[in-house]
A and B are shown apart, each in its own frame.
Chain A
Amino acid sequence: NAGVTQTPKFRVLKTGQSMTLLCAQDMNHEYMYWYRQDPGMGLRLIHYSVGEGTTAKGEVPDGYNVSRLKKQNFLLGLESAAPSQTSVYFCASSSGGGVSGANVLTFGAGSRLTVL
C-alpha cells in the first residue's frame, strides 16, 4: 500500500519550459490537493479536486493547471515555468466529506522543482 506517490521527485527546468507533476493515490480517496512549500511561507494550496473530473482553485493558482481524469491521479502542470515557481510541491489526498476540519490529509513525499 503505497499511499500517495509523487513523480518526479526532483526536476530542473529552464524558464519557459513546461512540465507535469503526477500524483497517484491508492486509497480510493475522493479529494486530492496540490500545495507548494516555500521557506518562510508555509504550505499554500494551489489547486484541489473533490472528485474525478472536478478541479478548483486554491490560494495560489496562477501559472498552474490541473486535471483529474482518473480518481486515483491528480496532475499539476506548469505551461511556462518561471523562477518564482521554484518550490517543493506536495500532493495530498483525503476521503473528504464530513464535518469541516475533520478531513485528514495523507501527503506524498514531495517534488522539488527548480526553475533556472
Chain B
Amino acid sequence: SQQGEEDPQALSIQEGENATMNCSYKTSINNLQWYRQNSGRGLVHLILIRSNEREKHSGRLRVTLDTSKKSSSLLITASRAADTASYFCAPPVSGSEKLVFGKGMKLTVNP
C-alpha cells in the first residue's frame, strides 16, 4: 500500500546549515505534498509538487521529485531554530484524494 517514508527519521543540525529530508513512496503519483508539524500543533502544508515538475522552490524550501525513482526530497536552506519541527511527505493513495502520512522526520536546529 502507498506510504511516504521519510529518511532520516531524525536530524540535528546547527543554525545556518542546510537540512535535506528524503521521501520514498511505492506507487505512481500525480502530485506529492510536504507538511510541517511543530511540537504540539497540527500539520501545516508547505508545498505541493506535481509529477511534471522536477523541482519547486518556496522561500528557503526546495523540493525535488524523481518519479522514476519514486522519491522526493525537501531541502531547507540556511536553517533557523524556528525550523525545528517534524516534516512529513504525503503521497496520495493511488487514484484517490486521500493522502498517506508516514512517521515523519524530526528536525532539530540548534541555535
Contacts and interface: CB of A to CB of B under 8 A. Distances in A.
Answer yes or no: are A and B bound together in one complex: yes
Interface of A: 4, 31, 33, 35, 40-45, 48, 50, 58, 90, 92, 94, 96-110
Secondary structure dominating the interface of A: loop
Given A100-B97, A101-B31, A103-B97, A41 B103 contact: yes
Nearest to A6: B42
B45 A101 contact: no
Contacts of A100: 29-31, 92-97
A90 B30 contact: no
Contact of A108 (B30, B42, B93, B98): B42
Given A42-B102, A42-B103, A101-B29, A107 B97 contact: no
A101 B92 contact: yes
Contacts of A98: 97
B43 A101 contact: no
Contacts of A110: 40-42
A104 B48 contact: yes
Contacts of B45: 104-106
B39 to A, nearest CB: 11
Given A100-B31, A107-B44, 18 more contacts: A4-B42, A35-B101, A42-B88, A42-B102, A45-B100, A99-B30, A100-B96, A101-B32, A101-B33, A101-B92, A101-B99, A102-B30, A103-B92, A105-B43, A108-B42, A109-B41, A109-B42, A110-B42
A110 B45 CA distance: 15
A96 B104 contact: no
20 contacts: A40-B103, A42-B88, A42-B103, A43-B88, A44-B101, A90-B43, A100-B31, A100-B92, A100-B95, A101-B33, A101-B48, A102-B30, A102-B48, A102-B50, A103-B97, A104-B48, A105-B45, A105-B99, A109-B41, A109-B42
A66 to B, nearest CB: 15
